A and B are shown apart, each in its own frame.
Chain A
Amino acid sequence: MATKSGIFWVTWANAHAQNSSRIVDLVEPFRSDAKAFIAALGAAGARVDVTATKRSARRAYLFHWSWKIALGKCPASSATSMPGVDILWDHGNEAASRRGAQEMVTGFSLAVPPTSINPPSLTSNHIAGRAIDMDITWTSTINIKDKNATNVAITFIPDVNANTRLHAVGASYGVRKLVTDAPHWSHDGH
């Protein structure tokens, strides 16, 4: 029997639909590509701090629909279903449905930005296991080996989005920078 939307699903997601920051949870060949790139960074003396790898599709589903229903972007009856998530979005009246969804938005801390028209996404490279968020830092200039074992001298700059030499080394491993999001690298740059 389906369970109505509400805070229950926050607890459920935190137990059964967690995101990962482990490289092993990425899919091949991106997993091996990311490991090789990070190994090269480490060997050169860079510090790499991975904060997100594979994100749960079920969690994203709960984020997406709770956000849209709570903010009144769509009626609860328009929510799609997802295998393994037996949630009842439509409580029978729209006000109750929105209250249930709002409990989830608050519980998931999704109320940012509350006036945005852009909901959490149902699909992404993170959800597919083909993206990684990481901070890469070092001091001054280091030599990082690209996939062809060529040393590339790269100077640290705080804005990683602007460090095109680092992007090129990452790309040689199949790990491509998305320049709108500082920590984000993926198999295709999206």
Chain B
Amino acid sequence: MATRTLMVLVMAVSCGCRSQEKATADSTPLEMRVGWVAGSCVATANNNLTAGSPITVVSLDEKSSIVDGRIVGRATSGETCPALLQDRRKQNEARWSFYELKLSAAVDLGIGVTGSPTFVQGGIDLTGDGAPEKFTRCSTSEGVSFRVWAGTPYQGMPIWSGYYYLGYDTESNCPS
């Protein structure tokens, strides 16, 4: 009998490779700044991103990291954007706008922040309180749940959440 292993990726981003930047007030609503990343493609509620805009991706792969990149343009095909493959496109496009990315390193799954996020000790501060947010992903019954937390992950409400519909059944490992 197969053993089911519970693994939920939780990442408070280390930014030792970066200099801390002075916090800048960003009045753009969080849901317009944050999106989930699958491959070289970001899904966001923001329908007005322009080519060349900067994006910082918190990679939530086995080896987590922060990856810089830029928006290339609208993503239109499953070849460049796995979320737009035929078996999942309709559901994903109903909720998100998709943009192709040029990233400095490959990312399988992650959470992207457009614009110029504020780096603080231990990660990225999206709320302006000086503390780093926590970024998580886990598998749901037929997709991937991405979340950003101001406090302890999976306690209370996330400050942002995203959902990637895969179009087939997976073995869920999201905490209930």
Contacts and interface: CB of A to CB of B under 8 A. Distances in A.
Tell me whether A and B are bound partners.
yes
Interface of A: 19, 49, 51-52, 55, 60, 63, 109-121, 123-124, 126-127, 133, 135, 158, 178, 180-184, 190
Max count, chain B CB within 10 A of own CB: residue among A111, A127, A133, A180: A180
B21 interface: no
Contacts of A113: 38, 61, 108-109, 144
Given A112-B38, A115-B108, A180-B141, A135 B94 contact: yes
B169 A55 contact: yes
Contact of A117 (B7, B163, B164): B7
A155 B44 CA distance: 24
Given A118-B173, A181-B165, A124 B5 contact: no
A178 B82 contact: no
Chain B interface size band reads 35 or more
B139 A126 contact: no
Interface string B42-65: 000000000000000000011000
Given A112-B82, A118-B170, A124 B141 contact: yes
A121 B169 contact: yes
Max count, chain A CB within 10 A of own CB: residue among B38, B95, B141, B168: B168
B90 interface: yes
B165 to A, nearest CB: 7
B61 A181 contact: no
B87 A109 contact: yes
Contact of B62 (A115, A127, A158): A115
Given A51-B91, A117-B5, A118-B139, A182 B165 contact: yes
Dominant secondary structure of chain B at its interface with chain A:
loop
In order of increasing CB-CB distance, the 7 nearest A-B pairs are A124-B169, A180-B140, A121-B169, A118-B139, A118-B171, A109-B85, A113-B109
Nearest to A114: B108
A109 B145 CA distance: 19
Contact of A116 (B82, B91, B139): B139
Interface of B: 5, 7, 38-39, 61-62, 78, 82, 85-87, 90-91, 94-95, 108-109, 139-145, 163-174
Given A113-B109, A116-B139, A121-B171, 18 more contacts: A49-B94, A60-B169, A109-B86, A110-B168, A111-B82, A112-B164, A115-B62, A116-B170, A117-B173, A118-B170, A124-B141, A126-B169, A133-B142, A135-B94, A182-B163, A182-B165, A183-B91, A183-B165
A118 B61 contact: no
A184 B170 CA distance: 13
A184 B166 CA distance: 12
A136 to B, nearest CB: 11
A92 to B, nearest CB: 24
B174 A180 contact: yes
Nearest to B139: A118
B168 A181 contact: no
Contacts of B95: 158, 182
A126 B143 CA distance: 14
B146 to A, nearest CB: 11
B78 A184 contact: no
A57 to B, nearest CB: 11
Contacts of B171: 118-121
Contacts of A126: 142, 169
A178 B5 CA distance: 22
